[in-house]
Amino acid sequence: MLSFYLVLVSLLLLEPFSVARHSFSSNREQSDQSRASEDLVANLPGQPVVNFKHYAGYVTVNENNGRRLFYWLYESPSLPDEKPLVLWLNGGPGCSSIGYGATQEIGPFLVDSDESSLTVNPYSWNKEANLLFLESPIGVGFSYSNTSTDYANLGDDFAANDAYAFLHEWFLKYPSYRTRAFYIAGESYAGKYVPELAEIIVDRNKDPSLFIDLRGILLGNPETSDVQDWQGMVDYAWSHAVISDETHRTIIASCDFNSNDTWSNQDCSQAVNELLKQYKEIDIYSLYTSVCIDSLTGSDDNSTPVFKTTSKMMPRIMAGYDPCLDDYAKSYYNRLDVQKALHVSSGHHLRDWRICNMSVFNGWSDSKESVLPIYQKLIAAGIRIWVYSGDTDGRVPVLSTRYSISTLSLPITREWRPWYHQKQVGGWVQEYEGLTFATFRGAGHAVPTFKPSESLAFFSSFLSGASLPFKR
């Protein structure tokens, strides 16, 4: 079966994974609290005054190889000791959760267009939960390894295992969160990261010493199942007048997305090339907003993905009402004073930060064709699954998600209907046994960037397990 992202040249052996069974003694917890205080962020350049604490720094997930993952924790401004912990992951693979999720979508600080100051996000999700952003895997953002061979092993299993190791080490650093209600959220290729990590947690929770109180997962415009993702992408491009009737008919007639040899069919390859060519003219992640002209004409940023006809697709480039948000983030996080405040750099060494690392993307060695079997496993384990889709995204369009969910044949518990926010239709929603699917009307790939108020209300409903409002 075709991989949506990867042509595997060879299978790489991932290193064995284990988590030490830590004894959470009071002495250990006291010393770990002091470790956490060292990561307190103070004097972040351009930061407005806020009434919550935030922490940033590194957690070592492999001592021998020097593998370290960068995190940023924002406490909730109200009742942080009582609210749940939510881990947010962005995808790519190779794109930064700091640059996207924290800076452009759901975090409390948004980088201004002057690239030097921060604005408070009035719709930050830390109003409802403590937010933990992780740059994963190594090679993404500020995360790294001192062992070069680690980068040759990057793939889904590698990322999930390192993220799991990160959590247990992070809980040692922040022991007050160890028994907190825990959720995992993410978008795009994190549609694979999130359920894969959740599966490891469910499996290893059988050992009480490793227990993590995972309650649910939240997935936005998620990569889910390669076959359905491709089919949805093609049908969406045609139904939204991006490609011609002729191109659509050629793809339908010649492309077998269930095949391991899809691209050997020349008619299929040429037709998909035509689809990608048309999407190069606009923002595939947001059909109806402008592109960043400065980036198109003057940037030599080698992290900018390039379209090509293989089974690979590119990570998100730009989205949002301001299409140059990525540029602002890149400039801000490559400042030495910012990196010092985030405990990334000391002295005069500047670490190169990219919003997407194409070396990670191009070297990805392992991608599951479908995470739908994991959905079934998590539902059986009682894990809440909510999936949402901005309906103006062409990259992982709403059709792809609907096609994927339909293959599960889950019993419907509440029929398709509009949901409302501030007396307006926010989108449409359908509830199944164990899964809720909702659309966001007029939102692109990074839904909270387009619909911040609606997204915060949606997030609140997810945490409470309550149905979305169905009356004005």
- The residues annotated as belonging to the active site are 188, 393, 445
Pairing of strands 435-440, 384-390: parallel
Q: Which amino acid is at 402?
A: R
The sign of the CA dihedral 462, 463, 465, 470 is negative
Alpha-carbon gap, residue 441 to 445, rounded angstroms: 12
Distance CA 160, CA 164 (A): 6
Sign (positive/negative) of CA torsion 135, 108, 42, 171? negative
Cis previous bond, 208, omega within 30: no
Cα–Cα distance measured from residue 264 to residue 2, given in angstroms and rounded to the nearest whole number: 12
Task: Return d(Cα 272, Cα 312) in angstroms, integer.
Answer: 12
Output the CA angle 342-346-351, nearest 5 degrees.
70
- Pick the closest to residue 378 from 234, 112, 199 (CA basis): 199
- Please report, for residues 198, 215, 362, 382, the alpha-carbon distance to residue 379 in angstroms, rounded to integers and kept in the order given: 11, 11, 33, 5
Q: DSSP character for 241?
A: T
* Tokens read off for 341: 């405040």
